[in-house]
Amino acid sequence: MVADKGFWGRGYQARLADSGTRLLTPDKTRTAANLARERALASTRLAIESVLANLEQQMRLDHHLARTIRSVETLESADSSWLSANAPAPRHTPQSR
């Protein structure tokens, strides 16, 4: 799990380790020895945050209060039902022979 500095703590890290999860957080102090690791971790976090921001925009999650997968599914189902009930009838055009 990649986390921010707020997740430091041996107890929390031990509980995650017991469940098989490795916690990756920035070191408390930045030194020349850990610079490469810090940059790699920051790059990974930036990529994850960018993907999540793009998904949020594409799914218009910032326009409604859905905060769980179930509530997003419910809203999408409601949108689909509304579109099915309110879509204009297809126009029939004469076919050329």
Using one digit for the tens of pLDDT, what is the confidence trace for 30-81? 888 989 999 999 899 889 888 888 877 777 766 665 566 666 666 666 666 6
Q: Which residue has the higher pLDDT, 19 or 4?
A: 19
Q: Is residue 13 part of a domain?
A: yes
In-domain check, residue 81: no
CB 41 within 8 A of CB 22: no
If one counts the domains in the chain, the total is 1
* Boundaries of domain holding 17: 5-76
CA angle 65, 70, 76 (to 5 degrees): 70
Classify residue 89: in a domain, yes or no: no
Asked if the structure places residue 64 within a domain, the reply is yes
Mean pLDDT score, 19-32: 86
Does the residue 31 lie in any domain?
yes
| Full-model pTM | 0.52
Within-domain flag for 17:
yes
CA distance 76 to 89: 22
